[in-house]
Amino acid sequence: MRLLTTVANQAAAAVEKARLFSKVQRLSVVDDLTQLWNRRHFLEVLEKEWKRAECFNHELALLIIDIDHFKHYNDQNGHLAGDGVLKELARIFKEHVREIDCVGRFGSEEFLVVLPRTSKDGAEVAAEKIRKEVEVHEFPLGEHQPEGKLTVSIGFSCYPEDGEDAAKLIHTADIALYRAKNQGRNRVEGARREDKTEAGLGQHRLTV
């Protein structure tokens, strides 16, 4: 009995150690607030998906999603309310993408979605679906936003048309996002031919 007890205690300790190690590993790649992949891990996923697309000659799409007037929301309602919005948006994003897609939190109010084996047209459809879902969702205190509701703007790009590698995909999608912002927000914009040239002139604000 003493031997069995000793073995059982050692086994329990080993299981608990493995559980804690697994938890620590998960915390290192997951955003604590939204439970989405964090920036570092998402970029690793994007790089792997790009290499797979390059190897098998598949298309690969990327969305950058930014919350419109999020600073205004936080200033008006407080950061706890803003955290609630971030968590709810994460849920919406995860519910309206495919299982093979990957969603990550990239910055304070920015999210990225990688869409394997997705064309430019497919990316636009996916982005527009997400935009509409956010637009019709009733967020607490969203009626106090400048447009009377909480919305998002989305820029998207597609490999190989808009960038030959993961970094350029981010650059061109980011340029498209800023175009969406400049044209009134709550809209979807795709990368254009000239964006590829602009991205090639230097590092944009987002880098892999």
Residue 23 and residue 41 share a domain: no
Co-location of 11 and 47 in the same domain: no
> How much is the pTM?
0.83
What is the predicted pLDDT for the residue at 11?
Answer: 55
Same domain flag for 37 and 125: yes
Please give the C-alpha separations between residue 62 and each of 29, 116, 159, 163, in angstroms, as whole numbers. Answer: 20, 9, 8, 11
Rounded Cα–Cα distance for residues 152 and 102 (Å): 18
**Is the domain of 44 the same as that of 6?**
no
| 18 and 93 inside one domain | no
Establish if 206 belongs to a structural domain. no
Tokens 């298309």 sit on residue: 59
Q: Which residues does the annotation mark as catalytic? A: 109
Tokens describing residue 181: 């912002």
- Is 92 in contact with 202 (CB distance < 8 Å)? no
Q: What are the C-alpha distances in Å from 9 to residues 1, 13, 14, 22?
A: 12, 6, 9, 20
User: What confidence score (pLDDT) does residue 8 get?
Assistant: 59
- Could you list the residue range(s) of the whole structural domain that residue 70 is in? 33-200
Same domain, 10 and 110: no
One domain, residues 61 and 7: no
Claim to verify: residue 21 and residue 104 sit in the same structural domain: no
Report the number of distinct structural domains present in the chain.
2
CATH number for the domain harbouring residue 42? 3.30.70.270
Q: What pLDDT score does 1 carry? A: 74
User: Do residue 19 and residue 121 come from a single domain?
Assistant: no
pLDDT at 9: 61
Does residue 2 sit in the same domain as residue 102?
Answer: no
Assess whether 15 and 41 both reside in one domain: no
Single out the residue of 135, 140, 169, 136 nearest to residue 42, CA to CA: 169
Residue 60 and residue 122 in one domain: yes
- Rounded to the nearest 5°, which phi and psi values hold at 63? -115, 140
Place of tokens 């979605």: 113
Low-confidence ranges of the chain (pLDDT < 70): 3-27, 199-208
